[in-house]
Structure 1
Amino acid sequence: MPTSPESTPSGPARHRPSRRTVILGAGAAAVLIAGGATAAAISSRRPAPTTPGKLVSPLLASERFTVAHHGSDLDWPEESGYAYRRSVEAGVDALEVSLARTSDGIWFGLHDATLDRTSGTKDFVAADHTWSEVLQHRITSAGTSDRAQPARPYVRFVDLLDAYGATHTFFVDPKVVDATHFDELLDLIGKHVPHPADTVIAKGYCTATAWGSFARKHGLETWGFYYGNEIEGQKNLLASTQETWSTVGLNYTATAAQWAMMQALGKTMIGHVLPSAEAARESLDRGATGLMIASLEKTLGGLPSPSPS
């Protein structure tokens, strides 16, 4: 039985020797940690989501779709199993995850090279530590709107794939991981979902063309995000990068002229990172189809209903 996104082995690392061990090590039994539960227990207690989620093709064909940025990081401790579960319960269409990789080959949700911002450590570089060592720390609620809520464990990427890969698109960004590990990541994804192209969109900052090009070569859709002041200030930025990305994104605070520059590419656009319904509505008005949302609690209820398809 696969482990829950909220529980992982807390004993000594058991995934060192081979990629097969890393990939399949979620297998047999999970030792529960505080706040954790098995995948079956989560399924049995979880209310049905408002919407069932969307895989890649129906997502990109939608009139409008929603993505939980870091599992809605303004609402819940970012990139925790708890945050992703709550996002799915809220009815989001897709999930965004940035990935780090431990010294013993475990891919897990982390935006930064270190745990310092999310856990208050000092110079704790994820790539220099084992998964067992990472599990000694928790993701604080300091960046959320409810700082009194409990800190949460880090979550392995494979546990997220096992829980939601059959129903939800994942926007995947190996933000701080060297390109030499991209084959390993794709191999891992293929062990946990039947068809990676149905579940995964490769996401990256617009200049992360090594990841984007690798993903497109292997049949994945890609999403590159931009900032309005940069596409105006760096005249060659769009021209030199946009072919890597099958879909594009722009910050919601960009000007109308900057949004028009992106629209001229003729690609599906996603507004990011949206803290409110007002920001989401403004992105839709300026041509966005997708909404990369940082606070589902403050956004979903304030969106107009899409027209019937």
Structure 2
Amino acid sequence: MAMRIRGSVHSSDPTKPLSYMGAFKSGDWGLLVVAGQFGTQGDATPAGWTGIYDTDKKDENWIRSTTVAVHKAQRSTEFRGINWGSKSAEYKGRQCAYLVVIDGSTIDNMELEAIHSTENAQLISDVPCFGIMTMHATAAEGIVTFPTTTTIVTNGDWGKKTDSSWSSIAVNYATTPFTAPAGGTIAKSRTFVKVTEHVEQASEDPTMANGTRVEYFVWSGTDAISCVSMKAIPYGSRSVEEMLKTPKFFVAHRGGSASWPEHTERAYSQCPIFKTHGLEMSCGQSSDGVWFGCHDQSLSRLVPALTKPVDQYTWNEIKAAASRTEYMPARLDWLIEHYIDSHVLVVDPKYKTGKWEEFLAVFKGLENKIIFKAYGDTRWAFDPIRAKGVKTWGYAYAGDKDKAWYADWAAGKTCDVLSMEYTAPQEIWTALKVSGKPLVSHIPSVPESVKMGWDKGADGTICSNPKACISACA
């Protein structure tokens, strides 16, 4: 699958954090490059990122200061508010930064190579890769560019000035060997980031041993479309009791937000293929009363045209704007119609939790098929909801342990399922185990993080990346 860039952002003002404000999601990758005019800028790798830093060697005037860092997001806010400027008050040189956000479904890994000078041209054959050049030059000098036979992500013209000296960054992407140019007096450092592109599994060939084929067709409404392969789709858990008794049960967070566009029919339709036991939906409500998949108060993170809270739009207005993006949210009634018989639904009304009675009325007669999910301090709703025979799921974080409500929550007095971040210290997990309640780790997006939850004592996981992580449940 070809690498796909979601977008990018650049800055020459180190006093302001770098924020990519386009749509991105858990599981996406970020590539950050920071360049300093002088060799004393210091490493700008953000906390939690993997980075490399290099600087001038013996006043050679190459490299100057260069940081290159990569990160796979586990939350959909991690490419915002990045402080990248020099931490030294003594540093007075020019600084610039460039951030690229890559669709995580199209690549599996990014591996940093060493930072080199650009004194000589260099043949690059270890592809696919991102190429990076940092530039520090006078007003009279122009940019140095990668070959046009590669994909130019940015040529750095955003930092070029004609009235003063300037600094900038050029980035390309190549899938075939190419020669990176010498830098002359302009480009100072060169780096390459090796990329492992995601390879989709080939479809099964339906040809029989005797050469005949079994063909199946799907009716589109106007045409019969031949399917080249088929497979049995497994059931998930058909009741809450069944799921909570299943070792290492797996709930798809927002329908698998790191595997497919979150809260969409496409996402929920893919989850059963990867053997999920439950499907989670955070819900918003339109002004005309339609419940649908929506995690935030506004849909602007995914559908930029919808800037107001979702309850200020009719469903038709939401549908019209979302249909121009890949984030057309699934309706709750659609999810019930298609998956209530085969999967447990974990539902969270988010900003409409105060309307829990109206929300639960949607599930009348389905009480053993759903779990009501909310933040751990929501006892005011949990108590009456449990009295109606509906199981409750409360989530919390390690930082909550000193809050007034936490002790009763951790003892299992307020909810039926306890969900804790997989990165929480072992002592927190050990204390939760004493409650006797099912414990869930949230919200891993890679197999190693799922395994971390199992090792700490989790009974289940609510995971954003079923495609990558379901193997960790074996």
What is the TM-score of this pair, normalised by structure 2? 0.49
Q: Which structure has more RCO (C-alpha within 8 Å, separation ≥ 6)? A: 1
1:217: Cα distance to partner?
1.8
Aligned match of 2:390 in 177, 200, 220? 220
2:300 paired with 1:125: no
Q: What SS is found at the alignment partner of 2:373? A: strand
Greater Cα shift, 264-273 or 113-122: 113-122
Q: 1:218 & 1:164 partners in 2: Cα distance?
A: 22
2:461 paired with 1:291: yes
2:343 paired with 1:182: no
Q: What SS is found at the alignment partner of 1:172? A: strand
Q: 1:132 to 1:46 in 2, by over 3 A?
A: farther
Q: Tell me the amino acid that sits aligned with residue 57 of structure 1.
A: E
Q: Tell me the amino acid that sits aligned with residue 119 of structure 1.
A: V
1:92: Cα distance to partner?
0.5
Q: How is 1:49-88 mapped onto 2 (pairs within 5 angstroms)? A: 49-88=233-272
2:328 paired with 1:153: yes
Give a deviation string over 1:11-42, Cα, whole Å, max 9, x none: xxxxxxxxxxxxxxxxxxxxxxxxxx79xx9x
Q: Which runs of 5+ in 2 are unaligned?
A: 1-219
1:68/1:87 contact within 8 Å kept = yes
Q: How is 1:243-262 mapped onto 2 (pairs within 5 angstroms)? A: 243-262=413-432
Equivalent residue number for residue 289 of structure 2: 105
Equivalent residue number for residue 25 of structure 1: none
Equivalent residue number for residue 199 of structure 1: 369
Equivalent residue number for residue 31 of structure 1: none
Equivalent residue number for residue 163 of structure 1: 338
1:46/1:89 contact within 8 Å kept = no
1:123: Cα distance to partner?
2.8
Q: 1:117 & 1:46 partners in 2: Cα distance?
A: 35
Q: What SS is found at the alignment partner of 1:97? A: strand
Q: What SS is found at the alignment partner of 2:393? A: strand
Q: Which has the higher helix share?
A: 1
Moved beyond 3 Å, runs of 4+? 44-47, 50-54
2:422/2:452 contact within 8 Å kept = yes
2:268 paired with 1:93: no
Q: Which runs of 5+ in 1 are unaligned?
A: 1-36, 141-149
1:182: Cα distance to partner?
2.1
Q: 2:359 & 2:231 partners in 1: Cα distance?
A: 31
Q: 1:297 to 1:280 in 2, by over 3 A?
A: same
Q: 2:321 & 2:413 partners in 1: Cα distance?
A: 40
Q: 1:275 & 1:176 partners in 2: Cα distance?
A: 25
2:236/2:278 contact within 8 Å kept = no
Q: 1:235 to 1:114 in 2, by over 3 A?
A: closer
Q: 1:125 & 1:133 partners in 2: Cα distance?
A: 12
1:139: Cα distance to partner?
8.1
Q: 1:269 to 1:55 in 2, by over 3 A?
A: same
Greater Cα shift, 253-262 or 237-246: 237-246
1:78/1:139 contact within 8 Å kept = no
Q: 2:231 & 2:328 partners in 1: Cα distance?
A: 22
1:292: Cα distance to partner?
0.5
The percent identity for this pair of structures is: 26
1:290: Cα distance to partner?
0.8
2:306/2:318 contact within 8 Å kept = no
Aligned match of 2:406 in 211, 219, 238? 238
Aligned match of 2:379 in 202, 205, 209? 209
Q: Tell me the amino acid that sits aligned with residue 134 of structure 1.
A: I
Q: How is 1:127-146 mapped onto 2 (pairs within 5 angstroms)? A: 127-138=311-322
Q: 1:156 to 1:235 in 2, by over 3 A?
A: closer
Q: 2:309 & 2:319 partners in 1: Cα distance?
A: 13
1:116: Cα distance to partner?
0.9
Q: 2:300 & 2:283 partners in 1: Cα distance?
A: 15
* Aligned length, in residue pairs: 248
Equivalent residue number for residue 201 of structure 2: none
1:138/1:153 contact within 8 Å kept = yes
Aligned match of 1:173 in 337, 345, 348? 348
Q: 1:226 & 1:46 partners in 2: Cα distance?
A: 41
Q: 2:263 & 2:232 partners in 1: Cα distance?
A: 21
Q: Tell me the amino acid that sits aligned with residue 155 of structure 1.
A: A
Q: 1:283 & 1:153 partners in 2: Cα distance?
A: 32
1:203/1:212 contact within 8 Å kept = no
1:122: Cα distance to partner?
5.3
Q: Which has the higher strand share?
A: 2
Give a deviation string over 1:198-225, Cα, whole Å, max 9, x none: 2110111101223322321210111101
1:275: Cα distance to partner?
0.8
Give a deviation string over 1:181-239, Cα, whole Å, max 9, x none: 3222222222xxxx3222110111101223322321210111101111221xx153322
1:49: Cα distance to partner?
2.4
Q: What SS is found at the alignment partner of 2:452? A: helix
Q: What SS is found at the alignment partner of 2:345? A: strand
Equivalent residue number for residue 33 of structure 1: none
1:196/1:220 contact within 8 Å kept = no
Equivalent residue number for residue 34 of structure 1: none
2:235/2:343 contact within 8 Å kept = no
Q: Tell me the amino acid that sits aligned with residue 167 of structure 1.
A: S
1:47: Cα distance to partner?
4.4
2:298 paired with 1:114: yes
1:169: Cα distance to partner?
0.5
Q: What SS is found at the alignment partner of 2:466? A: coil
2:254/2:262 contact within 8 Å kept = yes
